[in-house]
Amino acid sequence: DGGITQSPKYLFRKEGQNVTLSCEQNLNHDAMYWYRQDPGQGLRLIYYSQIVNDFQKGDIAEGYSVSREKKESFPLTVTSAQKNPTAFYLCATHRGGLSGYTFGSGTRLTVV
Which residues of the shown chain bind another protein in the complex (CB under 8 A)?
4, 6, 31, 33, 35, 40-45, 48, 50, 56, 58, 90, 92, 94, 96-106, 108
Which amino acid is present at 15? E
Query: Residue 87 burial by CB count (10 A; 0-12/13-18/19+): exposed, middle or buried?
Result: buried
* Smaller CB separation from another protein, 30 or 80: 30
Q: How far is the CB of 82 from another protein (least distance, A)?
A: 20
Q: How far is the CB of 80 from another protein (least distance, A)?
A: 26
What is the rounded distance in angstroms from the CA atom of residue 72 to the CA atom of residue 110? 26
